[in-house]
């Protein structure tokens, strides 16, 4: 097994991944041309309750961190605290980036430039996910859910885990649309994310900071040594 990267490198990868992920999500939300299913569900919750996207992100993220504890079937304090810390910072940064891009006029762009910006945002947050997943210190609760489902419930089948994970935000979006009669942040960017998420993360693993290894053991999911 390859030796883990030095801790300073892993911490740097975590910080860069968190901020760049928020930046990419901020771009997609500002364009309203589609984003990842989870972010889209939180945007729609924000419109339902009249809040910025950061608050639904924080609440849904904390609830997901709790559910992850149930899925691994034991209490893992470091995992829970880390995921809550991650989503707290992430939701704040997404709010900040959305506000900044809105002031820059991104929502007022014509359709084609908005699509380009949105797709760039998806590519950006996929690169970011690659960084903090390889660092494997703490991660977004939703990404951890996919890992838990993949390795504890679906014998390593990542596509099955992603599909099951995405059922929850799809249900949230349907419920919010029933109340608001409007659909937000579900568009071409969502399709691009669904089709390209895995391949883009895989390419990032190879070409973005290739010296950053997967500091990962399947046994970490269950708390075994």
At 32 the three-state DSSP class reads: coil
Q: Nearest Cα to 169, choosing from 180, 181, 159, 184?
A: 184
**pTM confidence score:** 0.90
Residue 209 and residue 10 in contact, taking contact as beta carbons nearer than 8 Å: no
User: Distance of CA 67 to CAs 37, 72, 152, 159, 167, Å?
Assistant: 18, 9, 14, 20, 15
Site of tokens 């903090």 = 132
C-alpha triplet 6, 10, 15: angle, nearest 5°: 150
CA 204-207-212 angle, 5° bins? 80
Which three-class secondary structure state does DSSP give residue 175?
Answer: helix
- The one-digit pLDDT tens for each residue of the chain (225 residues) are 568 899 999 999 999 999 999 999 999 999 999 999 999 999 999 999 999 999 999 999 999 999 999 999 999 999 999 999 999 999 999 999 999 999 999 999 999 999 999 999 999 999 999 999 899 899 899 989 988 998 899 998 878 888 899 999 999 999 999 999 999 999 999 999 999 988 899 899 999 999 999 886 545 555 543
CA atoms within 13 A of residue 167's CA, in its CB half-sphere: 9
């Amino acid at each position: 097994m390859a030796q883990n990267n030095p801790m300073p490198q892993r911490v740097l990868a975590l910080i860069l991944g968190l901020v760049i992920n928020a930046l990419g999500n901020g771009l997609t939300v500002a364009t309203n041309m589609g984003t990842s299913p989870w972010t889209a569900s939180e945007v729609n919750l924000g419109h339902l309750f009249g809040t910025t996207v950061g608050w639904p992100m924080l609440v849904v993220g904390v609830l997901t961190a709790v559910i992850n504890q149930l899925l691994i079937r034991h209490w893992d304090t470091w995992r829970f605290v880390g995921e809550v810390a991650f989503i707290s910072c992430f939701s704040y940064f997404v709010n900040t980036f959305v506000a900044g891009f809105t002031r820059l006029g991104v929502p007022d762009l014509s359709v084609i430039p908005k699509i380009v910006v949105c797709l760039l945002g998806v590519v950006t947050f996929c690169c970011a996910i690659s960084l903090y997943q390889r660092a494997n210190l703490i991660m977004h609760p939703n990404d951890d859910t996919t890992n838990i489902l993949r390795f504890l419930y679906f014998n390593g089948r990542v596509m099955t885990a992603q599909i099951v994970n995405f059922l929850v935000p799809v249900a949230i979006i349907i419920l919010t649309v029933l109340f608001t009669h409007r659909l937000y942040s579900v568009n071409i960017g969502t399709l691009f994310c669904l089709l390209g998420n895995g391949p883009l993360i895989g390419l990032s693993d190879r070409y973005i900071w290739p010296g950053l290894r997967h500091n990962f053991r399947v046994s970490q999911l269950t708390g075994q040594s």
